[in-house]
Amino acid sequence: MQVLYEDNHLLAVVKPPGVATMGTPQGVETLLDQAKQYLARKYQKTGNVYLGVVSRLDAPVTGVVLMARTSKAASRLSAAFRDREVGKQYLALVEGRPDPEQARLEHFLRKDERHRKVHVTNSGAEDATRAELSYETLVCRGEHSLLLVKPVTGRKHQIRVQLAKIGCPIVGDRKYGSPTPLKQGIRLHAWRLAVEHPVRREPLTLRCPLPRTWPEWAQHAADKAGE
């Protein structure tokens, strides 16, 4: 397990592709399980290890996941996420070139539990929820583009669905229209997370480098954007 940040209150780790953050059937290991095992080994804990997940990622998505090591930290961070006081930035490698190169997207989404998907619908539809994000194109290379995405809301599959709706599905995301097969995961990465520390009340910015499996040109563009 790769740790990005750790103190007495928080643990931030790198989520690999194909691993669920939490909530899998019994016997299927999650990122939460791995994090608890890491803490148990490091601090030689024999009992249950408390960890509260305050940021989740879909199983095929990579990047930073933040967990709370105390109930107080979990409560305060959950409130910060709920009140949209957390800055979230993703990198997305998409099919095609967005037009315009940067924009704010607003859609209404509805879950399709039967097919485990999310669809764009109209504002008056039953169970519709509003989803909002902004994106900017960092670089285009051939048939793909690298986008910096800043979600405002935190709906299930939101970035995947909204980018697919404008004709730019995330590379490898066959569920939402990408024609590009990948061995594992999709090219969506939780790159940066900016939050106030729940106890110290100081700004905390977590950054997770792109996986090495991403194209080299995307790596260079991400490094330049992070300077």
**What digits encode the pLDDT tens for the residues 182-215?**
999 999 999 999 999 999 999 999 999 999 999 9
Using the predicted structure, report yes or no on whether residue 137 has a pLDDT greater than 80: yes
Q: How confident is the model at residue 26 (pLDDT cuts 50, 70, 90)?
A: confident
- Domain locations along the chain: 2-225
Active site annotation includes 223 = no
The correct CATH number of 2-225 out of 3.30.2350.10, 3.40.50.1100, 3.40.640.10, 3.40.50.10470 is 3.30.2350.10
The rounded distance, in Å, linking the Cα atoms of 103 and 106 is 10
Single out the catalytic residue among 7, 33, 58, 173. Answer: 58
Q: CA–CA distance from 220 to each of 42, 115, 188, 213, 225 (Å)?
A: 34, 37, 16, 13, 9
Q: Is the pLDDT of residue 116 over 90?
A: no
DSSP per position, the chain: --EEEE-SSEEEEEEPTT--SS-PPTT---HHHHHHHHHHHHHT--SPPP-EE-S---TT-EEEEEEESSHHHHHHHHHHHHTT-SEEEEEEEEES--SSSEEEEEEEEEEETTTTEEEEE-TTSTT-EEEEEEEEEEEEETTEEEEEEEESS--TTHHHHHHHHTT-PBTT-GGGT-----SSS-SEEEEEEEEE-TTT--EEEEE-PPPTTS-HHHHHHHHHHT-
Closest CA to 180 of 217, 216, 136, 145: 145
The rounded mean pLDDT for the chain is 94
Give me the pLDDT at residue 115, please.
84
Query: Cα 22–31–189 angle (5° rounding)?
Result: 95
- Tell me the per-residue pLDDT of 29-41, one tens digit each, with 9 for 90 and over: 999 999 999 999 9
Q: How many CB atoms lie within 10 A of CB 225?
A: 16
For residue range 54-85, list pLDDT tens digits in order: 988 999 999 999 999 999 999 999 999 999 99
Query: Strand 144-151 to strand 129-141: parallel, antiparallel, or no bridges (unpaired)?
Result: antiparallel
Please give the structure tokens belonging to residue 199.
Answer: 């106890």
Residue type, 48: N
- Rounded to whole angstroms, the maximal C-alpha distance in the chain is 55
